[in-house]
Amino acid sequence: MHVRFWGTRGSVAAPGPATVRYGGNTSCVEVRSDDGTLIVLDCGTGARALGLHLARSEPQPLRLNLFIGHTHWDHIQGFPFFVPAFMPGVELNIYAPVGFQRSLEEAMAGQMEYAYFPVTLRDLRSRIHFTELDEGFFRLGEVLVETQYLNHTAPTIAYRMSAGGATIAYTTDHEPFWKPAGGVSDHPGDQNHITFLRGADLVIHDAQYSDEEYQSKIGWGHSPVEYATDVALAAGVRRLALFHHDPTHDDAMIERMETGARDRAARAGGGLEVFAAAEGLELRVDGRGAAKPIAAASALHRRPVAGGRVLLVSSNGSEIAAIEEILAADDLSVVAVPDMRAALARGPEVAPDLAIVDARLPDGDGAALLRPLVERMGRRNFPMLLLTEEPSAARAAEKAGAPFCDYLAKPFSPPMLHARVRAWLARALATAETASPDRAEVRRADEPRDFAGILAQFPLFQPLGGERLRHLIQGATEHAYPAGHVIVSEGEFDDRVFVILSGRVRVVEAMADAMTEAVLGGLGEGEIFGELSTLTGRPRSATVIAMERTRCLALRHERFLQALEGSSEVALALLRLLAGRLLEADRRLARYAPDTLTGLASRRAFHDQYRRLAAGARRRKSGVLLLLFDVLRLRTINDRFGYTVGDEVLRTVADALTSTTRATDLVARYGADEFALLLLDTHADDVDRVLRRVAEKLAELSGRRGLSLTVQCSVGVSFREVPPDIADELVREADGDMRRGRLVPA
C-alpha cells in the first residue's frame, strides 16, 4: 500500500516558519491499495491540498472513501474546502463513529451552516453517502478494514487496513487507559490496544505530548510519545509514525521527541523504526503478512444503546448526579444503589446492561464486588466499569473472570466516561449478535426444553414453584428475533405476554400530535412485556423493538392471569415492576412535557419534533417558514403590573399563535419570553398575511381578557425551500432577522 501525509498536526492548524519541516496542517493521510482503492484518513486542513491534487491528477469521476476517526473540529475542518466534494459525478463515502447526540451527517453539516460558511452540505454536487460505524470489520475492494474504539473524550475509532499482506493502523486520538509508569500498563484497554496494533507494518499513532507534558493533560484524550513507542514495541510493529503533533511544538521540539523515541526503541531492541510524520512524506508499505484479523462482527451494523440501563454502585451523591446527567444524553437509565449488598440484591431485579462501581463503598472495596456481580448476573459478557484511584485495586477487574471488566481513573473525565460506556455497551451487543444467526425462529414451548426451570431463575416467577410454572408455559411458544425486528407494535391487538429469555429490547411510544417517538426504556433477560394489554384488554400501548438477537417465550394470556390470581407474591412483584416502569417512563416523558403556563411544546420538544416535520417537508418538496416572536418589555410588565399580568400576556400570545395557525403547524414556547412558530408547506411571501392574523387575534384576546396594556412582539423570519435536517440554522437566521426591529403590526 502507498501512504502520503497531507496533514500531521493536532488540535488546531499551526502554519509558520517554525513548523515548515513537519507541517502545520491538521490531520489528513492518503492511503492507496494496489487495486486502486483510495482511502482518506481524516479531513483536517491538510485535506484542502489533497483535494486540489486529486482534482488535477486523478481520472474522473473519482470514488473516494473518507474515514473520520471522530468529528472533533480538527478532524473535519478541511471538509468545506475539499474540492472533490463540490464536483458532480464524484462518489464520496464517509465513514465515522456516531458521536454524542448528533448523527454523522449532522456533525459534518454543522460547520457548513450559513452562519459559518457560504455553502451548505446540501449544496455540494458530489454524491455523498454517510455510514456510521461500530467496532468490527468491513471490506473496500481488496482492503480489509477493522475498527476499534479508542480512549478519547468523544466516541473515536481506530482504523486497521490490510491488503496484499501489508497492514496499516491509524490510531488517533487516543490516551493511555491508565497512567503508564515505566512502560505500558496492564489495563485491559491498553492490552486490547496492543492487540489491535499487533504485527502491523506501519502504525500512525497519536504522540501529541512529551511524558512531562502529559502529566498535566491527563483526561485530554492524547498520548505521550513514550506510550506510543511502548505499545508499538509490545505489538511487534515494524514502523511507527509519530502523529497529531501539538500545535505549540515547533520543528526542533518534534525532532527532539523523534530522537528520544528512536533511542527508546533502540534500547528495547526488536528493530522498530520510528519517525515523526511530516507533510509531503510518502511511503511504500510492503507487508510480511504477520498481522492476523482481529474483528468478528460487522462494523457496518449500528448497535443503538438508547433505552439501556446502568447499575451505578456508589454512595457519593455528587458522583451519582454527574453520571446520571452524562448518560441521560444517550437515553440511558441509571439505577443507583449505595453499597455492595444492595448491588447484589438488586442486580438481577434491575437487569442492567452495564455496571459502574465506585472502588470506595461503605461496606468494602468495590473491586471485590466484580466477581460476585458477574456471577449474580449470569452473563460472562456483562460489562463493568470500576472507578478507582489505585491501579493495584483495579487489577482485581482482570481476576474477576470476565472479559468485560474495565477501570477508569478518578477523578474521571465526564466525556471519557461517556465514551467508555458507549463503547462497552456496543461491544456487549456485538458479542450477543455474533452468537446466533440473523433470522426469526418460532417453536412450541412444550418441545423438549426445560422452560419451567428457566423461568424459575427469574425473580418474577420464582414464587410459583414447579407445578404452577409447568401450567403457565402450556401452549406457550418460543420466538427468536434478529436485531431491529419489531416484536409488537403500538395500537395492535395482541394479548400474549412475552418473557425475554436472552437479549435486549427497546420500548418506544409515539407522542400524541408530535410526529415523534419517545424512548421509554430498555428491557433485558428475565423481564416481561405485553402485560398491560393482558391486564386491561386494550391494544398495545407501546412498540417493542429487538436491540440485538433476542429470544422470547410468548405466554398465553389466560395462563398468565391464572398465575397472578393463584399467587399474591407474583401479583405483588408485578405491581412493583409496573410502578418502577411508571416512574421511569414519567422521568423520560418529562423531556417532552408541554410548557405548564401556555400548554405549548417546550424548546426541546420543538427541536425533536422539527426533525420529523422537516423530513416530511423534504419528501413533499415543500418549504418551511419559521417565525420567532419575542414579547417586548415583559420584565417591565412584571415589575409594574405583577407576574399575574405578565403570565396572562404570555398566555395571550400563545393562544393568538395557536388559534391563527393550522393543526399541522408547530407552535412552541422557545424561551422565557420567546415563541417559535413553524409553518409547513408555505412560502416566504406568506409572512405578512400570517403576521396580520396574529396581530388581529392579539388585539381581540387582549380586549376580551381586559389587559390594560398593548401586547407587542418583535419578529424574526427564516424561510427554506429545502428544510435543513435540524432547526438550529433556521433559528439563527430568524434570530438575526429579529435584530432588524420588525414588529407584529398593531
Q: Which tens digits make up the pLDDT trace of 628-680?
A: 999 999 989 999 899 889 999 999 999 999 988 887 889 999 988 999 999 98
Measured distance CA(240)–CA(166) in Å, rounded: 14
Measured distance CA(139)–CA(161) in Å, rounded: 9
Measured distance CA(54)–CA(233) in Å, rounded: 35
Long-range contacts of 655-659 (CB under 8 A, 24+ apart): 655/697, 655/701, 656/694, 656/697, 656/698, 656/701, 657/629, 657/694, 658/600, 659/697
Q: How far is CA 185 from the centre of its chain?
A: 28
Q: Which tens digits make up the pLDDT trace of 64-78?
A: 999 999 999 999 999
Measured distance CA(33)–CA(48) in Å, rounded: 22
Domains of the chain (ranges, CATH numbers): 2-16+25-284 (3.60.15.10), 309-433 (3.40.50.2300), 441-591 (2.60.120.10), 603-738 (3.30.70.270)
Of the listed ranges 84-93, 333-342, 383-392, the one predicted with least confidence: 383-392
**If you average pLDDT over residues 480-505, what whole number do you get?**
87
Q: In the chain, count H helices and then E strands.
A: 21, 34
Measured distance CA(475)–CA(160) in Å, rounded: 50
**If you average pLDDT over residues 679-689, what whole number do you get?**
88
Local confidence band at 515 (pLDDT 50, 70, 90 cut-offs): very low
Measured distance CA(508)–CA(518) in Å, rounded: 6
Give whole-number Cα distances, 655 to 599, 600, 650, 688, in Å: 9, 9, 9, 19
Per the CB < 8 A criterion, the answer to whether 305 and 98 are in contact is no
Q: What is the DSSP letter of 304?
A: -
Cell readout for 53 is 491534487
Q: Is the pLDDT of residue 180 over 70?
A: no
Q: Which tens digits make up the pLDDT trace of 255-265?
A: 999 999 999 99
Local confidence band at 101 (pLDDT 50, 70, 90 cut-offs): low
Give whole-number Cα distances, 12 to 72, 76, 96, 243, 246, in Å: 11, 11, 20, 13, 8
What value does the mean pLDDT of the chain take? 88
**If you average pLDDT over residues 538-548, what whole number do you get?**
86
Upper half-sphere CA count for residue 608 (Cβ side, 13 Å)? 20
Query: Is the model more confident about 198 or about 112?
Result: 198
Q: Is the pLDDT of residue 281 over 50?
A: yes
Q: Is the pLDDT of residue 547 over 90?
A: no
Measured distance CA(294)–CA(160) in Å, rounded: 10
Q: Is the pLDDT of residue 513 over 50?
A: no
Long-range contacts of 451-460 (CB under 8 A, 24+ apart): 451/476, 451/478, 451/553, 454/501, 454/553, 455/499, 455/553, 457/378, 457/526, 458/499, 458/526, 459/348, 459/349, 459/526, 459/573, 460/526, 460/527, 460/528, 460/570, 460/573, 460/574, 460/577
- Compute the radius of gyration of the chain from its Cα atoms: 29
Q: Which tens digits make up the pLDDT trace of 407-428?
A: 888 888 888 999 999 899 888 8
3-state secondary structure 336-391: EECCHHHHHHHHHHHCCCEEEEECEECCEEHHHHHHHHHHHHCCCCCCEEEEECCH
Per the CB < 8 A criterion, the answer to whether 257 and 289 are in contact is no
* Per-residue pLDDT at 7: 98
344 burial level (CB within 10 Å; 0-12, 13-18, 19+)? middle
Per the CB < 8 A criterion, the answer to whether 651 and 597 are in contact is yes
Q: How far is CA 509 from the centre of its chain?
A: 20
Q: Which tens digits make up the pLDDT trace of 567-612?
A: 999 999 889 888 877 777 666 666 667 788 898 988 888 887 887 7
Q: Where are the alpha helices (DSSP H) in 483-567?
A: 531-536, 557-566
619 burial level (CB within 10 Å; 0-12, 13-18, 19+)? exposed
Q: Which tens digits make up the pLDDT trace of 233-256?
A: 999 999 999 999 999 999 999 999
Cell readout for 12 is 488546531
Measured distance CA(102)–CA(165) in Å, rounded: 37
The pTM for the full model equals: 0.70
Q: CB-based contacts of 229: which residues, under 8 Å, 6+ apart?
A: 207, 240, 261, 264, 265, 272, 274
* Per-residue pLDDT at 496: 92
Cα dihedral: 34, 38, 44, 49 (round 10): 90
* Per-residue pLDDT at 514: 42
Measured distance CA(302)–CA(299) in Å, rounded: 7
Measured distance CA(479)–CA(442) in Å, rounded: 4
Measured distance CA(300)–CA(146) in Å, rounded: 11
SS3 (DSSP) at 465: coil
- Cβ atoms within 10 Å, residue 539: 15
Cα dihedral: 216, 218, 223, 225 (round 10): 30
- Per the document, the length of the chain is 746
Local confidence band at 220 (pLDDT 50, 70, 90 cut-offs): very high
Measured distance CA(113)–CA(130) in Å, rounded: 18
Measured distance CA(547)–CA(482) in Å, rounded: 8
Give the residue from 407, 369, 403, 424 showing the smallest Cα distance to 177: 407
